[in-house]
Amino acid sequence: MATGVTSEFAIHAQTILQQPPLQAFVLHLWNAQKYPFDIGSQLRAMDARNYNFMLTLLSAFRRNGPDDRSFQDLAQKLAESR
């Protein structure tokens, strides 16, 4: 990730922490074997706002990879809360 650029996982952390579908998605990106995510049913059940957040997070993950420190910190926090 470029220096001086804030991760979308940091920018949207509060929203993610309040939305179980987004939490499940982040955990799945972090560890797909431990945290399965049924994307078909989740997409059908998701409102437009969460869908757009999910696309933003997916794009950030694709761009920055799993080593994004904010992504790692958020996923760890979510995992510890389960």
- CA 44, CA 13: separation in Å to the nearest integer? 23
pLDDT at residue 4 greater than cutoff 70: no
More confident residue, 3 or 41: 41
**What is the domain partition of the chain in residue ranges?**
18-80
pLDDT surpassing 80 at residue 1 = no
Distance from the Cα of residue 76 to its chain's centroid: 11
12-62 tens-digit pLDDT: 999 999 999 999 999 999 999 999 999 999 989 999 999 999 999 999 999
